[in-house]
Amino acid sequence: MEDINTPATPNENVNFESRINLAPLLESITIIKQELGSVIVGQSKMIDQLLVAILSNGHVLLEGVPGVAKTITAKLLAKTLNIGFSRIQFTPDLMPSDILGTSIFDLKKSEFEFKKGPVFSNLILIDEINRAPAKTQAALFEVMEERQITIDGSAYILETPFLVIATQNPIEQEGTYRLPEAQLDRFLFKIAIDYPKLDEEITIIQREHVLQSQGKLENIKTVLSAIEIKNYQALVKQILVEQNLLEYIAKIVVNTRENAFLYLGASPRASIAILNAAKGFAAIRGRDFVTPEDIKDAAIPVLQHRVIVTPEREMEGITSTEIIKQILETVEIPR
């Protein structure tokens, strides 16, 4: 008779390894962080969110006052990726054709020829996106959502990966044009960049003193190719998400529509964005499954630019970020 006090023998055939091989992805992510960290001081949360956006195939809006390294961060990230890169400086006189391209009549061929604009690349840095007028901003609608451009009845499919990183200053309003909700909704993340802390500020000054005339981008190594990025994006889509976590995402988003402090709640596009971003957070943390913590980390940068605070609460100084945090505290976490 078997002794009930004898401990059960572990099943040697049980495999506790991840069902998705994330080791190459994690190695690449670690190297990119090291490369960015050699120039950017602190801002680890922002860097994680940028990497998640790439893995989730989503666009990013970087918001912060001048001088907090918005543009240099985007340039550094582009340097670590072996893909096409374009920088577009948005100005009040910028026209849609300046970014999309235009048809030019070729006298030799006696026909119109389409000249592609700078948006025909892989990673697009749009600096000061809110300085261009509405018609120029509207020119980005199709390309950001569908990754294609339709001009003169012809559709041009952009090469993948295609990612937009836009910057804007939230303080200065003179000579700027507010981004419409339809365009804000096309950004996976809105990342707010704060001032550095005292010790970080000291490190920034020390590094600048040591570098002197040496360029910040000179020693940045290229880490990922376009094919590797596409492969990792496909890998991240396979991350496991339990049914109760899908319901958790839905409850968070629905709560934004029912919240008395919000004039406009989030759309189903936001639910999908949280799902994809949560998978990205799980991947960079070495897991092939999503946890409630991944969803919480994704919710704020996904939702804060997609909801509108009621005028009464806005006058009281309450922000969308604070309301989203309250919602996250209210919705029950699945066990």
Local structure of 98: helix, strand or coil: helix
Helix (H, G, I), strand (E, B) or coil at 131: helix
Spatial distance between the Cα atoms of 230 and 232, rounded to a whole number of angstroms: 5
Model pTM? 0.86
> For residues 287 and 334, is the Cβ–Cβ distance under 8 A?
no
Residue 156 lies in a domain: yes
> What's the DSSP call for residue 129?
G
CB of 187 closer than 8 Å to CB of 61: yes
The reply to whether 112 and 205 lie within a common domain is: yes
Residues 25 and 134 in one domain: yes
80 within some domain: yes
Return the pLDDT at 12.
Answer: 44
**Whether the Cβ atoms of residue 307 and residue 323 lie closer than 8 Å to each other:** yes
Q: Does 219 map to a domain?
A: no
Co-location of 58 and 143 in the same domain: yes
Domain residue limits at 119: 20-211
- Of the residues 211, 227, 251, which one is the last residue of a structural domain? 211
Residues 87 and 167 occupy one common structural domain: yes
- Along the 335 residues of the chain, how does pLDDT read in single tens digits? 444 444 444 444 444 456 878 889 999 999 999 888 888 887 888 899 999 999 999 999 999 888 777 888 888 899 899 999 999 999 899 998 899 988 887 777 777 788 888 999 999 999 999 888 888 888 898 889 899 998 877 888 998 899 999 998 877 767 678 888 888 899 999 998 888 788 888 888 887 777 766 666 777 888 899 999 999 999 999 999 999 999 999 999 999 999 999 988 999 999 999 999 999 999 999 999 999 999 999 999 999 999 999 999 888 889 999 999 999 999 999 87
**Residue 161 shares a structural domain with residue 271:** no
Query: 264: domain CATH number?
Result: 1.10.8.80
What pLDDT does residue 6 have? 46
In a domain, 1, yes or no: no
Query: What pLDDT sits at residue 194?
Result: 83
Chosen domain end from 211, 231, 252: 211
Q: Name the CA dihedral angle for 267, 271, 272, 275, rounded to a multiple of 10 degrees.
A: 160
Say whether both 201 and 131 belong to one domain: yes
**Helices in 197-291 by DSSP H: which ranges?**
198-211, 226-236, 243-258, 268-284
Q: Is residue 164 part of a domain?
A: yes
Q: Is 301 a domain residue?
A: yes
- At 7-58, the pLDDT tens digits run 444 444 444 456 878 889 999 999 999 888 888 887 888 899 999 999 999 9
Note the pLDDT tens digit of each residue in 92-103.
999 988 999 888
Please report whether residue 60 resides in a domain. Answer: yes
Residue 152 sits in the same domain as residue 101? yes
| Residue 177: per-residue pLDDT | 80
Q: Determine, yes or no, domain membership for 133.
A: yes
252 and 204 in a single domain? The answer is no
Which two three-digit tokens encode residue 295? 């969803």
Could you tell me if 183 and 271 lie in one domain?
no
Are 247 and 157 in the same domain?
A: no
Characterize the bridge pairing of strands 101-106 and 111-116.
Answer: antiparallel
Give percent of the chain with pLDDT exceeding 90.
45
Strands (E) in 77-185, as ranges, are: 81-82, 85-89, 101-106, 111-116, 123-127, 148-151, 154-157, 163-168
94 with 35, same domain: the answer is: yes
Output DSSP code: residue 190. Answer: E
User: What's the structural domain count of the chain?
Assistant: 2
CATH value at residue 108: 3.40.50.300
CA distances from 76 to 18, 172, 261 (A): 31, 25, 39
Q: Which amino acid is at 313?
A: R
The DSSP result for 35-65, as a single string, is: HHHTTS-S-HHHHHHHHHHHHTT-EEEEE--
Looking at the structure, tell me whether residues 41 and 171 fall in a common domain: yes
